[in-house]
Structure formats: structure tokens, C-alpha cells
Amino acid sequence: MTAETRPLRPAHPLESWEPAFAALTREVAAQGGDLVLEPAPQARATDLRLDPAGPARPAVAAALGAGLPTHPNTWTATDDGEIVWLGPDEWLVTSRYARPDAAEPALRPLVAGHGGAAVDVTGQRVALRLRGRLARELLALGCALDLHPSAFPGGHCAQTLLGQAGVLLLALGDGDDYLIHVRSSFAGYLAEWLLDAATEFRGAAPAAGT
Amino acid sequence: MQLIDCPWCGPREELEFHYGGQAHVSYPPDPQALTDEQWGHFVFFRDNPKGPFPERWVHGAGCRRWFNAVRDTRTHEFLAVYPIGAARPGVPGGDA
Ligand SMILES: [Zn+2]
């Protein structure tokens, strides 16, 4: 063994799945289908709890640069992430560039005096992006919700079950672009489930090595 | 599969929910004053009606919020869903 120096870089928890995801896209495309599955960039995540009718909300919205969605099962976009409704007094704030003003140390002082809380949950979930014309059909194989854009348009989200795993599902577009947050320890299972469920879109020959 | 109407998320499949037992069982204001028999009654004894029954449910796989529901124990039909802390609503066919 020779010692070598390599710069460290953050690895995505699902990095090792990327060849299998790419093979899926390739084989589905060969059948005339359109399905792209890929690990979504890891984002800093903060779980935010506060009374939506309380005094802390304007300051939080100013810090995040976007309002907290109060309608159940919706999300709003920030410059580099999302604010996702998780409950009547709970939101998930994500930031792909780990903006300091969307992080626990900045948000906590804004809400702590009013009975709220901000907790860093960056390692809690892993995100997958699923898009393409067949995306909704694939999700329908393991998710009971009506994901048709008339019922689940862009800007909507849902905490529900996909296969056997609890997921936080975000509609990025109208019917063909989804962000799937899953608990880190379920990420491998969900990747495997999605690849298995997509078998029927790959064509007749069983895919080697999956 | 039966759908349960989460007050926040709307209708979801039954397996997203967990049952929490009879609703409106309040903690005794002065537990020290209870006899062993009264305490045992509070801890272990619950109604078991045939018909509408107020129950606690939690949307465990969704918004993770608790709520109350009146369910008909004969048919499993959910007759009403209402917030924790609210009074039990009158339901059609219920004995209220
Ligand atoms: Zn719910």
C-alpha cells in the first residue's frame, strides 16, 4: 500500500447507488420511457417549531427570506432550499448552501423566547430526486396517495409511506418531478425498492447485476 | 383499505395511523386521594361499547399529530374527527 493524499470531499450516502440509478435511466430510455432517479444534493436541515399565531413568525420569515407555509402539506421555496410544512406548528427548513441564517444557531434565538425550538436535523434524512414521465407511475406502485397534478401539484408535499418506508414527498413540478426525503437508515431500502419497482419499465430482459 | 380523515392531512390509509385508546379519560386531579381500587379503575378500566366510541388516534406516518375520533365499533366506520381538547361531537346514531 502506498500512502496517497487525496482531498476529502463530502460523499452522498447513496453515492454507491448511482451506477444502478444511471443504468435504470438508460434501460428505461431504451424502451422509449423517461425516468431519472438520482441522489439529491445533501442540504442542511433544521426542524423548526413555533406557534404560527405567535410573535416569532415575521422575524423567522425575514431570516429565511420566505414565509412559512401554513396550509397543510405545502412547501415554499427559498433561495437555496425549501420550507416544508410538517405539522400545524412544525416546519423543515433546508438549505443546500448551508446558509448561516437558515441554521439552528440563527433561528433558535428568534423562536426560543416564544416557546419555539430550532433543531439541526441535517443527518436525519437523505433525499432522492425522481423525475420523468414515468415518475408518477413508479410512485403509484408503492404510495397510496393520489399524485395526479390536479390533486398534488407543484408546491404540495406529503408525509406518507412509500413501500414500507416513511417518506416526505415534495412535488417540484406538476406530475413528473419529485423530491423524496427518507430517514437515513431507510435510504438503502428505498433505493432498492425503487429499482425493484421500476423493473417493469426496463423492458423484457432482466437487468444484470441489480 | 379503510381511509381515516386526518384533521390536518386529509384522508389517508389506515396503516398510517395508530390507535390510542379511549378518549376523554382525564388524569385524576388528586391521584394521592384515590383508593387502590379507584386508581386501578383509572389505569385499567375502559368503556367497551357496541357502537359509537370516542377514541384517540395519531397520524404516525404523516403529521404525527394526535386527534380524537368517534368510531362505530360494530362497523369500524369513522363518524367524526375532532381536535384533542374539544368536546365530543354529537354524531348521527350516536348515544352522545
Ligand atoms: Zn396528518
The least confident of A9-13, A37-41, B15-19, B66-70 is A9-13
Nearest to A87 among B10, B12, B64 (CB): B64
Q: Are B12 and B59 in contact (CB under 8 A)?
A: yes
Indicate the domain borders of chain A: 20-41+124-201, 44-120
The nearest alpha carbon in chain A to B10 belongs to A72
- Predicted ipTM of the assembly: 0.86
On whether any CB of chain B is under 8 Å from the CB of A161, the answer is yes
Class of domain A20-41+124-201: alpha beta
> Is the overall model pTM greater than 0.80, yes or no?
yes
Q: Are B9 and B62 in contact (CB under 8 A)?
A: yes
CA of A88 to the centre of ligand 1 (A): 10
CB pair distance less than 8 Å for B65 and A159: no
**Grouped pLDDT means (10 residues each) for chain A, 210 residues:** 70 92 96 95 94 93 94 95 96 93 93 95 95 96 95 96 97 92 96 96 65
- CATH 3.40.50.300 correct for A44-120: no
Judged on CB neighbours under 10 Å (0-12, 13-18, 19+), B74 is exposed
A8 vs B3, higher pLDDT: B3
Give the CATH number, domain containing residue B77: 3.30.2270.10
Q: Phi/psi at A127 (nearest 5 deg)?
A: -115, 140
Q: Distance between CA A147 and CA A174 in Å, rounded? A: 9
Report pLDDT for A203. Answer: 81
